A and B are shown apart, each in its own frame.
Chain A
Amino acid sequence: MTPPADERSPIDSLGDPVVRAMRYVGGLSLLIADTAVWSFRGLVSPKVRFGWEALAIQMVRVGVRSLGIVALVQTFIGVILALQMTPPLATFGQEAMIANIIGVAGFRMLGPIITAIVLSGYAGASIAAELGTMVVAEEIEAMEAMALNPVRFLVVPRVLATCVMTILLSAIADLMIALGGYITCRLVLASDVWVNYWPNMRDQLTFSDLGTGLIQAAVFGVLISAIACFEGLRVRGGAKGVGRATTMTVVYSIVSIIASACVCTMIFYIFDF
């Protein structure tokens, strides 16, 4: 049993955040596991109806509506990369390598990670607010009272849709970064650089550059949507609770995106992907 605040030792106070963090990660892991089980049952078991319509609605909401902003942001990333890498490469007379660097950085990491960060604010916060409002309006309780599982009806379509759309948007993001770099080279740099831009990028990129990026995109998509659903479903305290859930969704999503990117990179490095 937790001792009252005024009786806690410094060790208790240090332990509190650790216990809270472990509870959070444990709850989130259970939600992800539950989502995986219901997704599997929905796809395999004839007794469990899979909500294809709900999945399509969420894919439009998460993906199609985010497409414009993701494309715009990623084009800017391509422009920034090209402009920032040109001076140091010029020192060594290697401006032609700009396409190689933009290709690797964009496809392996920047495409998926920037897409995920945009989605955490765009789709994650929206999912958390929607589910939180449903909790406040007693809709989740009503759903449970009707023997309808909220994970199956609400979480599964949102997690699957966000996962699929993060992958697709990341693929588009990769192209937009490359395009942004090309436009910058075309407008700013000498002709021998942009003439060889696409051949250099094609020569540099391998299937593993694309594959590792898209695997990470899938991980980011699951994390963003699971955190959003977890925060939304545990809303307490009305409008204030909904506001808190949306804020924490964005904060925890970004932290988890960066942390999981670090872990994925380590794994890819160890296995030489």
Chain B
Amino acid sequence: MIDTTGQPVVRVVDLVKRFDDRAVLDGVNLQVIQGETMVIMGGSGCGKSTLLRHMIGSIWPDEGYVELFGQNIAELNDDQFDAIRKRFGILFQSGALFNSMTVGENIALPLKEHTDLDDDTINVIVTIKLELVGLREAAHLMPAEISGGMKKRAGLARALAMDARVLFYDEPSAGLDPVTSAEIDQLMMDLSKKLGVTSVVVTHEMDSAFRIADRMAMLDKGRILKIGPRSEFEALRNGAVTGDETSDLIRQFLRGDPDGPITRRRRSDGYEEDILDAAAGHS
């Protein structure tokens, strides 16, 4: 059981991000505690990948800030932030392997650049990391020669190369068959349990989310609707409709129901204005 009062390794405070005056993130607050797996979920376009990119410092907020390992990343200079970056890893949706290098070279790259280890030691570490994700035989293959699931596993091995203490996952199960998806989930759970790695997972795959999460956060239209332990979300998913808009919206998302507040909102959002605009355009 994760102690939710423990020291947060990732802390998001009052985060606001706008693209062309549209608030993609609107006052997001979130903490991820050492050793836990936090799943951030929400529909397409709700801002979850944008939130993840703020956490890794790829995007900078208009308001609010992000703390990693207790340090506000906006206040760090390049060298200080690079030191933080070496302590976390990220698995991108596509794996993001460097296509001009073999799988083994991809994993060796951060070790070659950030350590003084000799080539033999690096090769041993690469073999260990590849074995961890079940890809030892693929070390010499180019990314173009392996499947999508293998790319994700290789990306995970690369993220682990520097013994990351925090791992960020962007849609780790997206586009994978159920078995491969379950394998990736198992791998993430093993890393969390055996190595004590803290995980932040962005996904909208509910089966995967309930398998791996210690805590979950539901994001909708740039705001956190609910955050809490997995058991609370399980209870919400299995409970009956309450008439409370927020609870029913989360329940519909968790269950994947075709009818509910999300569907009603999609139908009603700006519908009258669109009709009037269309009519005005033809008059």
Interface residues of A (CB under 8 A from B): 49, 134, 137-139, 141-148
Q: Which of A49, A139, A141, A143 contacts B99 (CB 8 A)?
A: A139
A148 and B96 within 8 A (CB): no
Docked complex Cα distance between A181 and B86 (Å): 59
Q: Which of A139, A141, A146, A148 contacts B58 (CB 8 A)?
A: A141
- B89 to chain A: which residues have CB within 8 Å? 145
Minimum Cβ distance to chain B for residue A254 (Å): 28
B94 and A145 within 8 A (CB): no
Contacts A145-B58, A147-B114, A148-B109 given; does A138 touch B82 at CB 8 Å: no
B92 and A147 within 8 A (CB): no
Q: Which of A137, A138, A146 contacts B85 (CB 8 A)?
A: A146
A148 and B92 within 8 A (CB): no
Docked complex Cα distance between A141 and B53 (Å): 9
Interface residues of B (CB under 8 A from A): 53, 56-58, 81-83, 85-86, 88-90, 92-94, 96-99, 109-110, 112-114, 155, 158, 162
- A142 to chain B: which residues have CB within 8 Å? 90, 92, 96, 98, 155
- A139 to chain B: which residues have CB within 8 Å? 96-99
Q: Which of B57, B81, B83, B93 contacts A138 (CB 8 A)?
A: B93
- B93 to chain A: which residues have CB within 8 Å? 138
Q: Which of A49, A134, A137, A141 contacts B113 (CB 8 A)?
A: A49
Residue of B whose beta carbon sits closest to that of A140: B96
Interface centre among A139, A144, A147, by most B CB within 10 Å? A147
Docked complex Cα distance between A134 and B143 (Å): 13
- B98 to chain A: which residues have CB within 8 Å? 134, 139, 142-143
A137 and B99 within 8 A (CB): yes
Residue of A whose beta carbon sits closest to that of B98: A139
B110 and A146 within 8 A (CB): yes
- B90 to chain A: which residues have CB within 8 Å? 142, 145
Apart from A141-B58, A145-B56, A148-B109, 19 more pairs, CB < 8 Å: A49-B112, A134-B98, A137-B94, A137-B99, A141-B53, A141-B92, A142-B90, A142-B96, A143-B98, A144-B58, A145-B90, A146-B85, A146-B86, A146-B158, A146-B162, A147-B81, A147-B82, A147-B110, A148-B110
- A146 to chain B: which residues have CB within 8 Å? 85-86, 109-110, 113, 158, 162
- B162 to chain A: which residues have CB within 8 Å? 146
Task: Give 23 CB contacts A-B under 8 Å.
Answer: A49-B113, A134-B99, A137-B94, A137-B99, A138-B93, A138-B94, A138-B96, A139-B99, A141-B53, A141-B58, A142-B92, A142-B155, A143-B98, A145-B56, A145-B85, A145-B90, A146-B86, A146-B109, A146-B113, A147-B81, A147-B82, A148-B109, A148-B113
Docked complex Cα distance between A138 and B53 (Å): 12
Minimum Cβ distance to chain B for residue A243 (Å): 19
Residue of A whose beta carbon sits closest to that of B91: A142
A137 and B96 within 8 A (CB): yes
Closest 4 CB pairs of A and B: A142-B96, A147-B82, A147-B85, A138-B96
Docked complex Cα distance between A142 and B98 (Å): 9
Docked complex Cα distance between A178 and B90 (Å): 56
Residue of A whose beta carbon sits closest to that of B113: A148
Docked complex Cα distance between A146 and B56 (Å): 10
- B99 to chain A: which residues have CB within 8 Å? 134, 137, 139
Minimum Cβ distance to chain A for residue B167 (Å): 11
Docked complex Cα distance between A141 and B82 (Å): 13
